[in-house]
Amino acid sequence: MIEGKLRILLRCREERVGSVEIISTRPQISGRLLEGDRVSQALSKVPVIYSLCRQAQSLAATLAQGAIEGGEPPPGLIQQARLEALQEHLWRFFIDLPVTLGKVPLLSPFAPIRQQILQQIKALDAAPLYNAPLPWWQALREAVEGGLLEYRLADCCGQGLTHWQQWLASSRAPLGDMLRCLGECLPTAEAPILMQPSLMGLDADALPELVTLLESHEGYGAQPWLAGGHPEAGAIVRHRDHPLVSALRGQGALVLARLVARLLEIDRLLDPAQALAMGSFARGEDGAAGWVETARGILLHRLEIRQGRVHRYQVVAPTEWNFHPEGPLVQAVLALPAANLERLRQQVQLIGLSLDPCVGFEVEVCNA
């Protein structure tokens, strides 16, 4: 298991953030552990080496292999990746967000939800063609909506800004309380950089350019870029044109917009009729890339085969985009006021949570 963590170091002067340094201990050598293996052997190692979001990692690897050798990923693996993404989104709302806001995590409602998801993932290991019946999904949806919103997700997020504001002002549900608290911690007037109305997002259209750069630049996976700059990855990219998300971005509430996009994604993932976003494309005769839309954004695996063995294996994860030295987190934090260092620390923690690295992170603030 290869994990690591992020350390976000802020140096402040004259009540402004002077610099932001992101120090990562996440190893970037993982793909080398597969080079020289037969393809089937390499694919069996992928969920062990990449234990974070292991179902999505396996699916991206399988898609890349299929683009070279033919074949489709097992339906069970696709459903496992879907459930994994759903669990990750829910963890942010039931556990991480309340803790970051100084509140008690919602363990009681989340524990049975998580247990249902984990049991279903395990059942798919034994029966990869099994599909959970519609009543199972309906019961899961009721548990999620009841435990978090006391309201239907579609009604909460799907009816525009005015309806959202009315719900937020009157809701006594755990999520309503948390989001009101979030608004107090991140007032728009103090954080104009959170606006970014012309959001540059990493979507499927950018992947051919990404793979071209990945093939030709050593170390690209650790600090990726595109010709147009440093895009953001995550649910907000998929839902950036949704009326509510767009309206919140226009108001300067990008952290809230990201969280609303996550709610929209939860609503989508709870509907088994909605396809999981994924794909693959060949690169020459012996190379290919496979990608999956995870809870944090697009995960891409690039595979190159020679004589039946893995010649090169590369991965680009969403965290590398959002926590790039010139990426979304740094851009947002550099514009924050620093008169109150403890308040600044909490704001950075909330921005970091909304961008959601795949490993733990800590924030350190000091005066230069």
For domain 6-367, say whether CATH 3.40.640.10 is its number.
Answer: no
Q: Residues annotated in the binding site for Ni(2+), as ranges?
A: 358
User: Once rounded to an integer, what is the mean pLDDT over residues 330-340?
Assistant: 89
| pLDDT the model gives residue 162 | 93
Average pLDDT over the chain, rounded to an integer: 90
Q: pLDDT > 70: what percent of the chain?
A: 95
Q: d(Cα 289, Cα 353) in Å, to the nearest integer?
A: 29
Q: What is the 3-state secondary structure (H, E, C) of 322-349?
A: HCCCCCHHHHHHCCCECCCHHHHHHHHH
Question: Phi and psi of 107, rounded to 5°?
Answer: -70, -40
Q: What is the pLDDT of residue 186?
A: 76
Query: DSSP letters along 130-150, please?
Result: ----HHHHHHHHHHHHHHHTS
In the annotated binding site for Mg(2+), the residues are: 315
Query: Quick one: pLDDT band at residue 360, thresholds 50, 70, 90?
Result: confident
Residue 84 structure tokens: 């994994």
Question: Does residue 142 surpass a pLDDT of 80?
Answer: yes
Question: pLDDT tens digit string along 71-121?
Answer: 899 999 999 999 999 999 999 999 999 999 999 999 999 999 999 999 999
- Where are the domains positioned within the chain? 6-367
Query: Known binding site: residues?
Result: 315, 358
